[in-house]
Amino acid sequence: MPTSLYVHIPFCSRICSYCAFSKVLFNEKWAFSYIEKLIEEIEGYKIPKHSQKTIYVGGGTPTTLPDTLFNKILGYLSEYLVEGGEFSIEANPESLTSEKIDILKNNGVNRVSLGVESSQSKYLTLMERPHSFEDIIDVVNNLKGKGITNINVDLIYALPGESSEEVSTDIDALLSLDVPHISTYSLILEDSTKFKNLGLTEADDSVQADQYELILATLRERGYERYEVSNYSKPGFESKHNTVYWRNEEYYGCGMGASGYLNGVRYKNTGSIIAYLAGKTVSEKEVVVEEDKPLLFLMTNLRLRNGFKMDRYKEFVGKDFMETHKEKALALEKEGLLIIEGDNVRVSDKGMLLLDKVTVDLVR
């Protein structure tokens, strides 16, 4: 059985202009009903108590919940965590109050991911983020003061008109927080977002690549390892939960809009709050068929700095990696995109920038 559980809380106090995640504006009546339905869904999977090595509560903005509901769902989820397991939650600074930090601590939450996105007021305003960087500093200090030191901060770069100098300013600001994990994402304009509706365009590929390499070089210089395409950590602070996704391992996904992967089936829950409250959960299912396994394995595992061992590939795909991909793999190695060392396969720094090409070349 899977040993990782993702739980989605869709409520937000406002909708950010770039966000395409499954979310709704907070409604107190909906929130109380939602938590009841969420617990019903989790119960339906008959997950043994104290069996989950990682639990991740995402959103939306989980910290938008009122304290009573926040305490209720975290207390409920804590019963599923193994001793010493990773219990993560996403939070925004404007709603992560001192009282909520106490609730996190009392329920065993030991990792917090903060939506920072930028340190600069003009970009925070553009993204309709209701906080300042000073708010982030206060929240980080409050978390540390109460013993929660495993903290991630998110950054969005390649924003409209953003220069490399401004990206460098953001990275320096994040480094000043002295947290062990940093996630960075170039802006993607997705359908149904305000940015998309306004007709904004994404930065050129060359601009995104330059800013990506700037971030990589700066964080490496300061002792952070890029262990996944967009994620950097100090040694020992890699996200255990997210690594489950990147290793193509199965996990439970519960809540409106959540995705899961069980018994060889990838599924997605309804993105409608009305449908979810009516008791309808899974809206899409995709059985992982044999011919899709190589692509699925490679497009996840090659995102990791350490790549994968060939015996794991054979275990999932049922075929030997070098027998199936030898010619293409050696060609990519000759191009300096792939590194094959004994039974380990991973991409180079250059390959990380061209990850889609590497993956497609291997399986086509």
Per-residue model confidence (pLDDT) at position 57: 98
Across the chain, mean pLDDT equals: 95
Question: Rounded to an integer, what distance in angstroms lies between the CA atom of residue 362 and that of residue 364?
Answer: 6
| φ/ψ of residue 67, rounded to 5 | -55, -40
The arithmetic mean of pLDDT across residues 109-133, rounded, is 95
What pLDDT, on a 0 to 100 scale, did the predictor assign at position 299? Answer: 96
Sign of CA dihedral 194, 198, 204, 208: negative
- pLDDT for the residue 17: 82
* Mean pLDDT, residues 345-351: 97
Tell me the pLDDT tens digit for each residue of 255-300: 999 999 999 999 999 999 999 999 999 999 999 999 999 999 999 9
The predicted-structure confidence for 11-32, as pLDDT tens digits, reads as follows 988 878 887 777 888 898 999 9
Residue 7: per-residue pLDDT: 98
Q: How far apart are CA 273 and CA 10, in angstroms?
A: 9
pLDDT the model gives residue 334: 97
Cα 77 to the center of its chain, rounded Å: 19
Q: What is the pLDDT of residue 22?
A: 78
Query: Looking at residue 13, what is its pLDDT?
Result: 86
Q: What is the pLDDT of residue 190?
A: 84
Q: What is the mean pLDDT of residues 142-154?
A: 98
Task: Take residue 208 and report the two structure tokens written for it.
Answer: 């995104």
For the cut 90, the answer to whether the pLDDT of residue 89 exceeds it is yes
Q: What is the pLDDT at residue 194?
A: 83
